[in-house]
Amino acid sequence: MQQCMSPERFARIQQVLSQRQHDLTLLMEEVHKPHNVSAIIRTADAVGIHQVHAVWAGNPELRKGTALGSQIWVRNKHHDTTADAVSHLKSQGMQVLVTHLDNTAVDFRQVDYTKPTAIIMGQEKDGATEEAVELADQSIVVPMIGMVQSLNVSVAAATVLYEAQRQRSDAGMYGKGKIPEIEKQEILFEGGF
Amino acid sequence: MQQCMSPERFARIQQVLSQRQHDLTLLMEEVHKPHNVSAIIRTADAVGIHQVHAVWAGNPELRKGTALGSQIWVRNKHHDTTADAVSHLKSQGMQVLVTHLDNTAVDFRQVDYTKPTAIIMGQEKDGATEEAVELADQSIVVPMIGMVQSLNVSVAAATVLYEAQRQRSDAGMYGKGKIPEIEKQEILFEGGF
Ligand SMILES: C[S@@+](CC[C@H](N)C(=O)[O-])C[C@H]1O[C@@H](n2cnc3c(N)ncnc32)[C@H](O)[C@@H]1O
Ligand SMILES: C[S@@+](CC[C@H](N)C(=O)[O-])C[C@H]1O[C@@H](n2cnc3c(N)ncnc32)[C@H](O)[C@@H]1O
C-alpha cells in the first residue's frame, strides 16, 4: 500500500490517525441541510473526532452518505432511532449531552469534556426532540446575548467541540496514538489513494 | 413607541442593546454564500456585536442586504474595497486580525480580544486576499488536527468570536450599557414593531 502514496502523505495520515479521539463524538438528530452536515463533519475532523453518529430517518439521501462527498476521513454511523443511538453511546460509557435550551441546561463551558462524551445536535428548525432531551444526561447551552433565538447548528457544534478540544489539549489527550493497527489499515485502504 | 410593543419586549431590547460591544467586529471579505453570511450574523448577534463590516464587490445582492432577512439587529456597513474597510477599522483604533494560515499566524487563543478588535473572514473558496493579510496587524488560525484543510467560514468565525466572548465576559465587559441613547431610539424605530 505504501507504494500508492508519497511518504509525506503516509506520515501525515498516520499522524492524524494517532490524534483521533475515540471517546468524543457527536450525534446529529435529523440535521438535514447538507451544508450544515458538511460543516459539522469538517469541524469534527479538525478536532480529531474519529466517528460521528446520525439519526436520519427522514432523509435517505444523507443516510446513503452521498451528500458528504470528501468527508471520508470521519466515519459516520447511522442509527434508526434516537433511542437506539443513545443506548449505543451509553453502552460505550459516554456521558450524553444534548444542546438544548431548557431550564435544566448548563453553560457548555461548565462541562468536563475530558470524560468520554457524546453531544447531540438537533434539527435545524425544531431542535432536539423531547426524546433526546429525556434520554440525555445533561442539557447544555451556548450563551447568547442578542435578539436571535438560536445559533446555526454547525456553529453551535463547533463552539462546543472547540471547548472540548481546548480541555483535551490542556489535559494532554492528543497524540496518544490509541488507534488500533487494524483500524489504521482499514482507513488507509478506504482512503484509496 | 412603547405602545406598539409589550413592556417585556421593550425591556428585552433595552437589555440586549446595553450589552452590545461597540469595539468588537467582523469584516467579511467577499464571503458570498447567504447561508454562511446569515450564520455569521446570527453568531455576531449572539456575542453582542453591534455592527459588522463587509466587502462585497462581487455580490450586489448581498450589498443590498436582501439576503440577510431578519438579521436587522446587527448593523452592516459595506465598504467598496478591503483597503477602505481596513483603514476605517484602524481609524477607530482597532487591532485588525485576519483568519489566515500563513507562517506568521498565531493560535487564535493567544490574542487579547478585550482590546478593540476587528476580525477579517475570507472568501469560501480562496480565503482572505493577500491585500487583507498584508494590511492586517496579525494573522490568526484555529488549530486543526485532521485531514481537511479548512473549516467552514461561519464555523471559524464562531470559534474566534466565542473566544472573544469568553475573554470579554471574564473581564466584565458585558452589560456596561455604553450604547448612545440616540442609537437605541434608532434601532427601536428600525425594528419596526
Ligand atoms: C437552529 S437550532 C434549533 C432551534 C429550535 N427552534 C430550538 O428551539 O431548539 C438547531 C440546533 O442547533 C443547536 N443550537 C443552536 N443554538 C444553540 C445554543 N445557543 N446552544 C446550544 N445549542 C444550540 C442545537 O443543537 C439545536 O437543536
Ligand atoms: C474555507 S476557508 C478558505 C480556504 C482557502 N483555501 C484558504 O486557504 O484560505 C474560508 C475562510 O474561513 C476561515 N477559516 C477556515 N478555516 C480556518 C482556520 N482553521 N483558522 C482560521 N480561519 C479559518 C478563514 O476566514 C477563511 O478565509
Assign residue B127 a region (left: φ > 0; alpha: ψ between -120 and 50; beta: otherwise).
Answer: left
**pLDDT at residue number A193:** 35
What is the spatial distance between Cα B169 and Cα A94, in angstroms, rounded to a whole number? 30
Distance CA B103, CA A46 (A): 19
- What integer pLDDT is reported at residue A160 of this predicted model? 98
- Do the Cβ atoms of B55 and B81 come closer than 8 Å? yes
| A41 close to A48: Cβ distance less than 8 angstroms | no
Set of cell numbers at residue B169: 465576559
Residue B88 has pLDDT above 50, yes or no: yes
If we measure between CA atoms, which residue out of B74, B155, B47, B169 comes closest to residue B108? B155
C-alpha cell, A108: 457548555
Across residues B180-193, what is the average pLDDT? 59
Rounded CA-CA distance A77/B143 in Å is 26
Spatial separation of the C-alpha atoms in residues B76 and B78, rounded to whole Å:
6
Inter-chain CB proximity B143 and A165 less than 8 Å? yes
Give whole-number Cα distances, B107 to A117, A174, A192, in Å: 25, 17, 32
CB interface of B with A, residues 56-85, below 8 Å: 71, 73-74
B75/B68 Cα distance (integer angstroms): 11
Residue scoring higher pLDDT (B113 or B62): B113
Rounded CA-CA distance A148/B191 in Å is: 13
pLDDT at B4: 62
Please count the residue pairs, one from chain A and one from chain B, whose beta carbons lie less than 8 angstroms apart.
111
pLDDT for B8 equals 81
B residues 118..177 contacting A (CB < 8 A): 142-148, 150-152, 154-155, 158-159, 162, 165-166, 174
> How much is the pLDDT for B107?
98
Amino acid at residue number A32: H
What is the C-alpha to C-alpha distance for residues B106 and A167, in angstroms, rounded to an integer? 19
The CA distance from A144 to B165, in Å, is 10
Percentage, residues of chain B above pLDDT 70: 82
pLDDT digit string, tens, across residues B129-178? 999 999 999 999 999 999 888 999 999 999 999 999 999 999 999 976 66
Q: Which ligand is nearest to the CA of A39?
A: 2
Mean pLDDT of the region B79-102: 97
Report the pLDDT value the prediction gives residue B91, as an integer from 0 to 100.
98
Query: What distance in Å separates the CA atoms of residue B5 and residue B22, rounded to the nearest whole number?
Result: 26
Q: Containing H/E element for B42?
A: helix B34-46
CB-CB contact of B136 with B120 (8 Å): yes
Residues A147, B13: C-beta atoms closer than 8 Å = yes
B165 to chain A: which residues are within 8 Å by CB? 143
Residues of chain A with pLDDT under 50: 1-3, 67, 192-193
- Cβ distance of B165 and A143 shorter than 8 Å: yes
Quick check: B35 contacting A, CB < 8 Å? yes
The reply to whether the predicted model has a pTM over 0.90 is yes
Ligand 1 neighbourhood includes A155 CB (under 6 angstroms): no
CA distances from B149 to B15, B80, B138 (A): 40, 29, 20
Q: Three-class SS of residue B121?
A: strand
DSSP B109: G
Confidence of residue B193 (pLDDT cuts 50, 70, 90): very low
pLDDT category at B183 given cuts 50, 70, 90 is low
State the helix-helix crossing angle for A153-170 and B153-170, rounded to 10 degrees: 60
> Which of A71, A145, A165 should we substitute to test contact with B (largest number of B Cβ atoms within 10 Å)?
A145
Please give the mean pLDDT across all residues of chain B. 87
Q: What pLDDT does A71 receive?
A: 53
- pLDDT (tens digit, 9 = 90+) per residue, B3-38? 466 778 778 888 888 899 999 999 999 999 999 999
Indicate the residue of A148, A150, A162 with minimum beta-carbon distance to B159. A162
- Nearest ligand for residue B126 CA: 2
pLDDT band at B2 (very low <50, low <70, confident <90, very high): very low
Check if the beta carbon of residue B111 is closer than 8 Å to that of residue B88: no
CA distances from B144 to A49, A118, B29, B36, B98 (A): 11, 20, 22, 20, 17
